[in-house]
């Protein structure tokens, strides 16, 4: 009898588990930038650059690519006007 009730319970749960989707993880997004010296949890999102404030930028008017600074992924996923919890700007790599 226990086996039948467990089997019935398993069949009842299977449609619910099939409808669950995997979350959009930043590490799988094309905008994810991992720093060589840090762990993935400190990855940055190239979708949201921080404007450079160096004097070199004001002198030649061209930002250096190696000086690009982006918001951390954890920050952009906290705010709904950015990527938010649902990952609005997520694009698969």
Could you report the per-residue pLDDT of 49-82, keeping only the tens digit for each? 887 666 666 677 766 656 678 999 999 999 999 9
Q: Residue 4 in 3-state DSSP?
A: helix
pLDDT tier for residue 39 given thresholds of 50, 70 and 90:
confident
| DSSP code of residue 50 | E
φ, ψ dihedrals at 32, nearest 5°? -75, 130
């Amino acid at each position: 009898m226990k086996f039948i009730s467990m089997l019935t319970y398993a069949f009842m749960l299977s449609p619910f588990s099939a409808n669950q989707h995997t979350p959009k993880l930043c590490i799988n997004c094309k905008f994810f930038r991992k720093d060589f010296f840090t762990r993935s949890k400190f990855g940055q999102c190239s979708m949201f650059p921080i404007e450079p404030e160096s004097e070199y930028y004001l002198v030649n008017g061209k930002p250096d690519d190696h000086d690009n600074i982006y918001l951390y992924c954890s920050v952009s996923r906290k705010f709904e006007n950015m990527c938010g919890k649902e990952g609005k700007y997520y694009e698969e790599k």
